[in-house]
Amino acid sequence: MCVGFEVWAIIIKIKTSKFLKHLISQVQWSGIYNKGLSNYCLSCCVNTLLQTLSATWELADLLDKWDTAGVRMEGRNVPLHLKGVLTAMRSEILQPAPHQDFLHCLDKNRVRLNVQHDADEVFLFILNSMLQQMNDKPLALEIQNLYKISVETQLQCLECSSLQTQSSYLLSMPLHIKEDHDSLEDCLTSFFEHQELWGINSCFCPKCEMKTPSKQGFKLLSLPQILCVNLKRARNSRFGTQKLNCKVTFPERFDFSDAVKEAFSSNSALTGHKYTLYAVVVHSGSAMCGHYTAYVRHRMDQRWYYADDSHVKQVDTAYMLMYRRDASETTVQLSDGIVA
């Protein structure tokens, strides 16, 4: 099922009521209000990410455990300001959440105001800031582990068949889409397909002691509790950067092991494969100029809500998908590595 059609049906109903349209920026979630965020200095990208991070209650719960007494670099500390704005978004005060301090904090960290940003790049910057700027390193690692996708890179020489492996991790899964109709399952299958490297792309083989044609691919070692999928729509051409506006369907619930049976490494011990969609980042416009909005799922009633700066509009093209592993599923972290 394509989630976008279901969400649009809910928006139509909301748009018919002026009262509900007013509440779109401050939806009541389990007795507290999830507030709208004003567009300040082209902040729609950050606003959308804040809505999805607010819907990720696991992150907010961990930040609530952080003792911030004595934290230095208050004006430049991204996780400190993130904790503050997420707390304000959950408060019962009926007014827009104050997020300008967070935006200025990002600006001091070179995520500039009055500049259109890529949502995935800002998302990864925020997550990496946890390890760099939090004084509670175990808690920072716990936050990062919410999103950590442990993978094994495999490089096989096509001359001698020797195999080299290296463990690393991703915080979001970048999936390239095609120009015709795509599905999330098709994109995942393409991501885990092996690619042959020839000519100038050949890699050094220690056994052959020279560059040889190779076959490269990825295998999963472990899956995270929060799976973030980045649909790569930008393409470079002689006319500049173009955006692919083709349709991509994605399910509300899926089992990773059913979607991509060949994705798992023989060294993995995975037992948590089932995910439920809870947030969608939407981008409308061109590759160089556009607008971000988000759909987020209510924690208690499981209904979808649309978050925009001040108005409601039809969903355009999905950009990032965030899946939460089902509560009954568990997994084991097997390896650490370098963020990609």
Q: Identify the CATH number of the domain in which residue 51 sits.
A: 3.90.70.10
Domain-located, residue 281: yes
pLDDT: which is higher, 93 or 104: 104
Domain-located, residue 27: no
Instruction: Tell me which residue of 179, 196, 176 sits closest to 187, measured CA to CA.
Output: 176
Distance CA 293, CA 306 (A): 8
Predicted local confidence at residue 130, as pLDDT: 95
**pLDDT reading at 23 higher than 50:** no
pTM across the whole model: 0.81
Q: What average pLDDT does the structure give for the chain?
A: 80
| Amino acid (one-letter) located at 150 | S
Q: Which two tokens stand for residue 270?
A: 């995975």
pLDDT category, 176, cuts 50, 70, 90? Answer: confident
pLDDT category, 318, cuts 50, 70, 90? Answer: low
Domain-located, residue 17: no
Q: Are 85 and 126 contacting, i.e. CB atoms less than 8 angstroms apart?
A: no
Domain-located, residue 336: no
Average pLDDT over residues 56-84: 91
In this structure, what DSSP letter does residue 199 have?
G
- Least confident span in 46-50, 120-124, 257-261, 296-300: 296-300
Percent of the chain with pLDDT over 90: 48
Domain-located, residue 73: yes
Domain-located, residue 247: yes
pLDDT category, 337, cuts 50, 70, 90? Answer: very low
pLDDT: which is higher, 296 or 13: 296
pLDDT: which is higher, 124 or 22: 124
**pLDDT reading at 232 higher than 80:** yes
How many domains does the structure of the chain reveal?
1
- Least confident span in 95-99, 172-176, 273-277: 95-99
Torsion sign over Cα 310, 313, 315, 319: negative
Predicted local confidence at residue 1, as pLDDT: 37
Predicted local confidence at residue 331, as pLDDT: 41
Average pLDDT over residues 283-287: 82
Domain-located, residue 176: yes
- Least confident span in 270-279, 298-307, 311-320: 311-320
Average pLDDT over residues 279-301: 83
As a dihedral over the C-alpha atoms of residue 76, residue 336, residue 138, residue 87, rounded to 10 degrees, the angle is 50
pLDDT: which is higher, 26 or 89: 89
Q: Are 315 and 48 contacting, i.e. CB atoms less than 8 angstroms apart?
A: no
Average pLDDT over residues 298-311: 71
pLDDT: which is higher, 39 or 313: 39
Predicted local confidence at residue 45, as pLDDT: 94
Domain containing 211 equals: 43-325
Domain-located, residue 33: no
Average pLDDT over residues 141-152: 95
Distance CA 269, CA 273 (A): 11
